Amino acid sequence: MSQKERPKFYRQEVNKTIWEVPLRYQNLSPVGSGAYGSVCSAVDEKMGLKVAVKKLSRPFQSIIHAKRTYRELRLLKHMKHENVIGLLDAFTTATSLEEFNDVYLVTHLMGADLNNIVKCQKLTDDHVQFLIYQIIRGLKYIHSADIIHRDLKPGNLAVNEDCELKILDFGLARHTDDEMTGYVATRWYRAPEIMLNWMHYNMTVDIWSVGCIMAELLTGRTLFPGTDHIDQLKLIMMLVGTPGPELLMKISSDSVSVYPRQCDLCLLYLKTIHKRENSILLYCPSLHATFTLASQLMHIS
């Protein structure tokens, strides 16, 4: 079997960083950057379309970085849905394991992300409904593969000029497991069970994030802009309250007898237990909205 012909590369400096990309990708122009990588727009002369080229930052610096790189590459490769970003190409300039330090991913170029859109304009109810519909539609596809995104936020939702939305950034996504890690998702959109270090959370953490995003689209401001974990939980309880007596009766744990009913008491209590598995969902996990229920609440199928 003949080996695939290696493409020719060229070098270009972008924001004081050297990029090495195949000749087919021309007109590199910086779009944005974050903790895990930088993105440039480019023209794919072979396919005749505009693309986004993402250069991962230090993809193999640590085991955590390597896992993130592997997850994003593996999941993007298999995602084929109009509301989920898909992988067009992946490449590296390395010819040996010792030189393997850079990874580039190529996807469709989208317009602005929701974060920028919310800052620039007030959305109509029709716009919000259509955007949330697309988020939940894409999320249903992701969840059908037993994958939790774990980092849904306006900055990870791209929208083009036709208001078509795609879910981005699968660096934190992973298959469901018996035990999950706690440090995922941007705090403002993070479900309470993640903040309370409950290691058995499931896909419903993404539904929580969608609810936070929907509220932000409707009001133009962040729903729970907590400054830290305790402040975040305080804001959540100020809005949704604490469990009522009927719910507490369903919880078998002895801890329910000391569970605070007032918000000020909650904060004092949470400071002592936020590192332990005392999440109310640990004892009554059926409370969280599932995708099907969320769809029914949105009156969509």
Alpha carbons 134 and 132: distance in angstroms, whole number = 5
Where is 288: in which H helix or E strand? none
| Strand-pair category, 9-14 with 17-22 | antiparallel
Bridge partner list, 205: none
Q: And the tokens for 121? A: 């304009």
55 is in an annotated binding site: yes
Specify whether the CB–CB gap between 168 and 157 falls below 8 A: yes
Residue 284, C-beta contacts closer than 8 angstroms, at least 6 positions apart? 247, 250, 251
Q: Is 146 one of the annotated active-site residues of the chain?
A: no
Of the candidates 169, 228, 231, 264, the residue annotated as catalytic is 169
235, 231, 207: which is closest to 221 by C-alpha? 235
70, 148, 156: which is closest to 110 by C-alpha? 156
67, 153, 156, 174: which is closest to 107 by C-alpha? 156
Specify whether the CB–CB gap between 59 and 103 falls below 8 A: yes
Residue with tokens 């035990």: 179
Specify whether the CB–CB gap between 178 and 200 falls below 8 A: yes
Residue 16, C-beta contacts closer than 8 angstroms, at least 6 positions apart? none
Specify whether the CB–CB gap between 188 and 232 falls below 8 A: yes
Q: Which residues are annotated as a binding site?
A: 55
Q: Which residues are annotated as a binding site for ATP?
A: 55
Catalytic annotation, residues: 169
